[in-house]
Amino acid sequence: MTSMINMVISILEELPMITQTSAVSFRQNLGEMLNQVQYRRDSILINKDGKPVAALIDARLFERIRRMQGRFDTLCQRIEKGYAGVPETEGVAEIDAAIAAERQAAPRRPD
């Protein structure tokens, strides 16, 4: 049991942290926060008036997000083109049915 706990702790220690900060604090500590992102691969969520307005992430993660966004946009265009002549309610119902069928067929992951 102890080895399992140690393994989980070591995995968690490798995961990047997400830090929340105010815009004022971010401005005052920009250099330190850049180092957190660059060297520790942490992410910083910047809040203004208590609401998230921006995030500072490392450049490699940003590139992955950009590639994923491109793939997502392409997929959306293909779906839009494939359903061009289908009424919206009918298309949404078909997509919802396909998602429900896939969820039933997929094995459940333990929580």
- In 10 A of CB 20, how many CB atoms? 13
CA angle 20, 24, 26 (to 5 degrees): 50
Same domain, 53 and 78: no
59-92 tens-digit pLDDT? 988 898 899 999 999 998 998 888 888 898 998 8
Q: Is the pLDDT of residue 14 over 60?
A: no
pLDDT of 36 strictly over 60: yes
Q: Are residues 78 and 30 located together in one domain of the fold?
A: no
Question: For residue 20, what are the domain limits?
Answer: 1-57
pLDDT given at position 30: 95
Count: domains in the chain: 2
Task: Answer yes or no: pTM beyond 0.75.
Answer: no
Q: What is the DSSP letter of 54?
A: E
**Claim to verify: residue 35 and residue 66 sit in the same structural domain:** no
